[in-house]
Amino acid sequence: MNFKKVNVFITIDVETSIGGAFRNSDLRPVGAERRIFGKIGNSYYGIPLIIDILNAHQLKATFFVEVFNTFYFGEEDMRAVCEYILKRGHDVQLHLHPNYLSFKLWDGKTPIKKVFSDNISDYSISKQIRLINDGKKILERLTGHKPVAFRAGNFGANNDTLLALSKNEIFLDSSYNAAFIHNPNEINLKTEINNLHRIGDVLELPITNFMEFSFFDFGRLKPLDICGVSYNEMRKLFKKSLYSIPQMIVLILHSFSFILTRDVQYNNVRPNKVIISRFMKLCSFIKKYSDNFITHTFSDIHNDLKKYGLNQDSQHIFSRIGIFRSSIRKLIQATNCLF
């Protein structure tokens, strides 16, 4: 960790899709080729392009790989995904969507039914311990190493999840998202956090949020998701973070963020050039101002835990971004969604 710079964590949730299979018995889940590698024609707009951009700017990232999809797809596809990420120099950690447990009960013939909740917070503490242990073992088989960090699908973790993680010797979590804390099953704290924070035995590194102001929303929290925040808003937030060091910024995107689709099966798709350009600009900005910003992975934090003062107080500041930037972004995104 570097306490003279803003520490930036670029994180990618890597997921297949149920593809509408729980609603329509004629549909089946969408696998890695379309949802993770993002193949369109002869080109790839998923993790290959994400990593191309990262590596072109000498930046690090952590890929949170969802593994319960192997109950439907098997392990070979996800092993190929993990190997691809690792061979290209990036970090792989654990991500879970428990609704895939439904496929453990499926006979392969009858309509697929959603039997299990997709939020790990909906399960008892004992069940959460088992689920995380199962996911941990799957990812270890896929990568050859034990995960050291976790992110819950849908940010659907609670305080029991953090205890379950510690029972599985995982002491880093990135499930907290201040914009999603209104569900009573979510992580319950006395105050909202927006920086590295210790909760029991676990270090929580939350998705970065800022306070958005627009003509339509007055003072709502907005997560730093590449698909929902403009480059100008991100640049403004990054610059403001220089005044509150030590500061951790956590950006989220998905393996399919660079793809626009008109259907749940990813049959009618096109590259999302607005988001691709936005990510390229952000990476260029981080590289250009490397004296102020440095990217890390969650493995880096794990390796530096003894050096980092676990009891060190962090500032939990929610930067304010004005009406003009927010309104321009909404206009651009509305236009971009026109197929």
Report the SS3 class of residue 92. strand
- Rounded alpha-carbon distances, angstroms, from residue 126 to 71, 133, 246: 21, 11, 36
The CA distance from 148 to 203, in Å, is: 11
**Where does residue 306 rank: exposed (0-12), middle (13-18), buried (19+ CB within 10 A)?**
exposed
Query: Omega before 147 cis (within 30°)?
Result: no
Q: Would you state the pLDDT for residue 324?
A: 47
pLDDT bracket for residue 245 (50, 70, 90): low
pLDDT of residue 191: 83
Which has the higher per-residue pLDDT, 219 or 89?
89
Confidence band for 163, pLDDT divided at 50, 70 and 90: very high
**What are 35-56's pLDDT values in tens digits?**
999 999 999 999 999 999 999 9
What the block records as the tokens of 326 is 């927010």
Q: Mind listing the domains of the chain with CATH numbers?
A: 6-336 (3.20.20.370)
Most confident of 62-76, 190-204, 228-242: 62-76
